[in-house]
Structure 1
Amino acid sequence: MTPMDIGDSLQKAADTFFNFLPNLLGFLVLLVVGYVVARIVARILARVLESAGLDRRLAETDTGRFVENSMPRASAARGIGAVVFWLVFGFFLVAAVSALQIDSVTVFLNQVLAYLPNIVVAILIFVAAALLSGAATKAISRTMGDAPMGKILATVVPTLIMVIAMFMILQQLRIAAPIVQIAFAATIGAVALGLALAFGLGGRSVAQEILEDAYRRNRDERMRRRAGQTVPPPRAEAPGTEAPGTEATATATYTGAPRSATERGDGPLS
């Protein structure tokens, strides 16, 4: 290799580096700007959710207490803010990598960025289900109090809501979608069968009382209606009073003074 060839190689390397330098600067600028913007958006969103009392409302539910025991410093507001941070930063990251003109990395980041909204929706489903289960528990406790059936419903209804939410989350995250659908159908069928058996066997006497009570009320209502359609007996008139039309009837019957003997056809007296 001659000195001329070495000089040409160095010149080509320098040209390649200086041609790539604008792309590298664009990558760094987009990366820094994206990080700053994503951090600001995430903090604003987290503060808004904290001001709305999201963490406090979740802490009042059984699901929130379970999460608190599992992760003592967990916060739904900060968690949603973190996901939004990566979602916003991901857009800038894809744009920055595109500036480097590395196709394989750009395709990979596009796939990751397309999956991030599923995570956001899954978190929102979990939060909404937790709030709904807490509201259902309070409503049942306020309505039915400490009754045995109230305690059962206050446990079963929130659990059923969270189970349905878990299946929705797995479906949203695209985790074994066929298996999730089969498991969901089997779970709903088992719950329906259990309720049918419980009502058919354990609640048979209660159902009988309900039907008998409804039958008695319907029968009594029909009897009252029939009694109301019968003609009432004539009322007794008070002494000295005459019903309307009595005087006219008496006038029509009485024709005047007594007739004479000739008019009666008795003939002259002998």
Structure 2
Amino acid sequence: MLAFITTATTVENWGSAVFNPLQDLSQRTVNALPSIIGAIIILAIGWLVSATVGKIVTKIIELVKIDKAFEKIGIKKAAEESGMEFSMSKLFGWLIKWFLLLVFFLAATNILGLNQVANFINDILRYIPNVIVAVLILMVGTLFADFLYRLVRSGTKATGIPSASFLASVAKWTVLIFSTMVALAQLKIALVETLFTGIVAMFAIAGGIAFGLGGKDLAKELLEKVKQDISKNGKETKKSELE
């Protein structure tokens, strides 16, 4: 009888050890179910809204004909030769779409209490506006560069100034380079400082190599010139004393 009671107690303990965690898990699942359903609904709405807005933005930018401006400066052709399809309107629409989708995804993670994921998405969302502004700067700069190219070319041709295409190209690329530098600055890429440091280092290395290769002869010539000047001055002084 005692053995039966002991066995029954052991089985009961095993049952509690197995079923208690399952019961706790099921209870947590039931409690979290409203949050999970709410997060799924938010993500579904976010996908529909972001995809729709992204397409609308793409169509609006296509009406501005920004892709033709980028095609004129050769970016689209270079991308196609590399096996890639480039479209500034689609790129901007894609950025807007994912920005909005991340906003909805952030709301879903907050509902689920995923704080670490929410913080990571927050960091991305803080940077995406910089990317959007940089793309806008490039688009406006490209449109203005194309307009300036046509304006300078027609103006110089009308006044009979030679090299109209060259002057127009200089004006266009000046605007494009400036726009690119401003866009990179918006992305917090220190291109100017990097280029300046690289140029200084290049000249320093080139100067060191040049001095190492030809500095010996240059120093010899300088010393010879100084020697001749001293000798000449000495002769003139001696001549004046004799007189």
TM-score (norm 1): 0.61
| Residue 7 (structure 1) shift | 2.2
The question of 1:82 aligning with 2:94 is answered yes
Q: Which runs of 5+ in 2 are unaligned?
A: 1-12, 200-243
1:44 aligns to what? 56
Q: Helix, strand or coil: the match of 1:15?
A: helix
- Is the contact between residue 141 and residue 179 of structure 2 (CA under 8 Å) also seen in structure 1? yes
1:107 aligns to what? 119
Partners of 1:141 and 1:151 in 2: CA distance: 6
Q: Aligned to 2:68, which of 30, 45, 56?
A: 56
Between 1:90-99 and 1:152-161, the stretch displaced more is: 152-161
1:66 aligns to what? 75
CA-atom RMSD in angstroms: 2.4
Partners of 1:147 and 1:185 in 2: CA distance: 39
Higher CA-based Rg: 1
Q: Which runs of 5+ in 1 are unaligned?
A: 188-270
The residue correspondences of 1:210-249 to structure 2 (distance < 5 A) are none
| Residue 170 (structure 1) shift | 1.2
The question of 1:27 aligning with 2:39 is answered yes
How many correspondences in the alignment? 182
Moved over 6 A (4+): 184-187
The residue correspondences of 1:1-270 to structure 2 (distance < 5 A) are 1-59=13-71, 61-62=72-73, 65-71=74-80, 73-145=85-157, 147-175=161-189, 177=190, 179-181=191-193, 183=195
1:195 aligns to what? none
| Residue 57 (structure 1) shift | 4.4
| Residue 149 (structure 1) shift | 4.6
TM-score (norm 2): 0.67
Partners of 1:3 and 1:142 in 2: CA distance: 91
Partners of 1:184 and 1:134 in 2: CA distance: 28
| Residue 46 (structure 1) shift | 1.5
**Higher helix proportion, which one?**
2
- Is the contact between residue 170 and residue 180 of structure 1 (CA under 8 Å) also seen in structure 2? no
